[in-house]
Copies of this chain bind each other. A is one copy, B any other.
Amino acid sequence: MDFLQNNLIYAVPALGLIGIIVMLFKSAWISKQDAGDANMQELAGYIADGAMAFLKAEWRVLSIFAVFTAALLAYSGTITEINGVPMHSSWIISIAFIIGAVFSATAGYIGMKAATKANVRTTQAARTSLKQALKVSFTGGTVMGLGVAGLAVLGLGGLFIVFLQVFHVTSANSIEMRTAIEVLTGFSLGAESIALFARVGGGIYTKAADVGADLVGKVEAGIPEDDVRNPATIADNVGDNVGDVAGMGADLFGSYVATILATMVLGQEIKVEDKFGGMSPILLPMVICGLGILFSIVGTWFVTIKDEKSNVQTALNLGNWSSILITAISSFFIVKWMLPENLSLRGYEFSSINVFYAIIVGLVVGTIMSIVTEYFTAMGKGPVNSIIQQSSTGHATNIIAGLSVGMKSTVIPILVLAGGIMASYHFAGLYGVAIAAAGMMATTAMQLAIDAFGPIADNAGGIAEMSQLPPEVRERTDNLDAVGNTTAATGKGFAIASAALTSLALFAAFVGIAGITAIDIYKAPVLAGLFVGGMIPFIFSALCIQAVGKAAMDMVQEVRRQFREIPGIMEYKAKPEYDKCVAISTKASIREMMMPGAIALITPIIIGFTFGPEVLGGLLAGVTVTGVLMGIFQSNAGGAWDNAKKSFEQGVMINGEMFYKKSEPHKASVTGDTVGDPFKDTSGPSMNILIKLMSIVSLVIAPYIAVKAVEGNYKQEVRKEIRIEQKTDSLGNIITDTLINKTDTLAR
């Protein structure tokens, strides 16, 4: 274990730890802020309790699932051979799985705790100034960002060190190293399983509450949004935290971990001489992402404004761009310092500078995807305007316009993604594709801080409304909320891009471990796999959408019951039973996510073991392609419908006439928004989880379905050949006559 001495590996968990320490300071700072009057604190308490109630219910189901899966993984780890071929996994993979799940859940817990603390404190801060309100809400987001990134890096880096010891790894390219990294995939599987519950379950929760609250409250009872009399309003606010904070956090935690891991898998195949015992291609993604935490912290310093008139969006952009820029620049030096001049992966040769270029490709892809998402969903831009115009002829044309906008919004992201795949591959082969994803994910802490800021500001506005605070407070929280809507859109773009690149990286890693060298869709079974894979996002989306509908119906009935059975709610004389609504959303979301979750988890196992790795590869490609498309389509259509509706609040011009809220076109736009709700917050973002989870499950089972292909790698045959080769033309005349004396060492 000599080669572990004086090594960089110890720096990785240290970087994660720094992130966590800073996070703890920020978290303590938030707790110290003024939480407002008793009424505000009571409302905030309901939200915090509701959020925790969901987390607990989620964990209860999760723990059953985790125990079962861990047992299965532990059993699989004890298999020492299949058909006479040695297996190199270990039961320890189940430990990695549980730690991954616990770390991800902890990150979600920390983020949600911070968010539910920061919301009411943001409301209170908004009584003083916009500057202070931004500071509190963004710090709340930062806690989430640093918690996710810090725990991910700490967990991955720490486990890696432990596994190097446990498996007695003595060189970077040994079978023991491979085992160590394969066992580490358990961590990623655990993290992504939490993401399934948090993102899909959370997505169903938030929209069931939202749609349910709106249908009875706004439409039937005629009371405004976030009105304290609506029994579902707390559930609605809880939903923002559950779906947008914990869900998004778990989603990115999963992408972050999976990306690093996939790059490590591919890096392990690269043989190099370096100052890190040949481990530089394995360590590089961890180091970049670890340093990315520091750069994200630096970026947060720039997120501050001067006074009431300052532009909040500009401040956030400045922070974001600084952290990306520093990451880009320092990547150059890290790559130059760590990697040797020339590298080669599966016969593809590339130089170290090209690895840097691939990282830049990743940063560019992520940025463009975010910008495009913003364009297609932003108020005042062409796409949203087209929906507004077509709202004038009714509900149907509003829907048609939104669907059309969503479909059109796939073009540039897909071209960028395709270009990104080709460019990063061109630069550094499959390692380039994976490291591009890692580069993009390096500033995850910053991205999440900006993302989580949105729902905190949204909640703060809700609390201001419910507590009937003065208008200037609501004005400030509205300002933050409007920016939060934009960052939510760009965040979604980033999340989809990250899921897509992560899946590609996992796909590349899968092929290596599965022992195949090609996925040939010209073979009929592989093509069939591609078709079936392509279909899965459709059924997954349908199930998610349907789940929201069903859960919202449950909510509607409960709210109607409370209005009927509890006298005095409307006159503020009696309190609604908020907890009943929270319980309904919680129960429904967990019940309804079972079926789609099972599809994502079980399909690759069935296909992999029945038809082998190549057909499974076809399936994964199909899932990824349509998953990314359906994700972009649904998220952007939903976002555009949402902002088309919001545009009516300030009034919009259609054919020379002004229209406001409650006009006929506005009613049509509300229809679009309601259709868009499950699109943008449930089925759309669920696509990220679907494609990543199926890829990770495939990666985990890869060694077991790869028996035949791997076989050859462990047998060796030396063949000596003495050959006289004559070339003749078609008439039989000898053209050349060569004596060939060759010794081959064959792989099989």
Across-interface contacts of A426 in B (CB, < 8 A): 524
Number of copies: 2
Contact with B along A699-734 (1 / 0, CB 8 A): 000000000000000001111111111111110100
Which among B530, B535, B723 is the interface contact of A722 at CB below 8 angstroms? B723
The distance from the CB of A518 to the nearest CB of chain B, in whole angstroms, is 4
Is B721 in contact with A531, judged by CB distance below 8 angstroms?
no
Q: A527-B504, A538-B629 are in contact. Are A723 and B721 (CB under 8 A)?
A: yes
Give complex CA distance A719, B734 in Å.
9
Asked if A390 CB lies within 8 Å of chain B CBs, one says: yes
Give complex CA distance A633, B629 in Å.
14
Give complex CA distance A415, B607 in Å.
13
Is chain A's interface secondary structure helix, strand, loop, or mixed overall?
helix
Asked if A528 CB lies within 8 Å of chain B CBs, one says: yes
The distance from the CB of A434 to the nearest CB of chain B, in whole angstroms, is 12
Asked if A344 CB lies within 8 Å of chain B CBs, one says: no
* Residue in chain B with minimal CB distance to A541: B407
* Residue in chain B with minimal CB distance to A728: B718
The distance from the CB of A529 to the nearest CB of chain B, in whole angstroms, is 8
Is B718 in contact with A725, judged by CB distance below 8 angstroms?
no
Contact with B along A387-431 (1 / 0, CB 8 A): 000100111110111011101101100110111011011100010
Q: Chain A, interface size: which category?
A: 35 or more
Across-interface contacts of A527 in B (CB, < 8 A): 421, 504, 621
Which among B418, B530, B556, B670 is the interface contact of A532 at CB below 8 angstroms? B418
Q: A400-B545, A629-B626 are in contact. Are A728 and B732 (CB under 8 A)?
A: no
Which among B508, B549, B730 is the interface contact of A397 at CB below 8 angstroms? B549
Docked complex: A547-596 residues within 8 A CB-CB of B: 548-549, 553, 556
Across-interface contacts of A617 in B (CB, < 8 A): 521-522
The distance from the CB of A458 to the nearest CB of chain B, in whole angstroms, is 21
Which among B400, B424, B723 is the interface contact of A678 at CB below 8 angstroms? B400
The distance from the CB of A712 to the nearest CB of chain B, in whole angstroms, is 15
Is A534 in contact with B626, judged by CB distance below 8 angstroms?
yes
The distance from the CB of A265 to the nearest CB of chain B, in whole angstroms, is 15
The distance from the CB of A502 to the nearest CB of chain B, in whole angstroms, is 15
Which among B520, B521, B622, B728 is the interface contact of A720 at CB below 8 angstroms? B728
Asked if A28 CB lies within 8 Å of chain B CBs, one says: no
Asked if A158 CB lies within 8 Å of chain B CBs, one says: no
Would you list the 7 A-B pairs with minimal beta carbon distance, nearest first? A425-B524, A396-B674, A407-B542, A418-B528, A414-B535, A534-B625, A518-B520
Known: A215-B394, A411-B538, A425-B524. 15 other contacts (CB 8 A): A393-B556, A394-B671, A396-B670, A397-B549, A397-B674, A400-B674, A404-B545, A405-B542, A407-B545, A626-B629, A718-B730, A720-B725, A720-B726, A721-B724, A723-B723
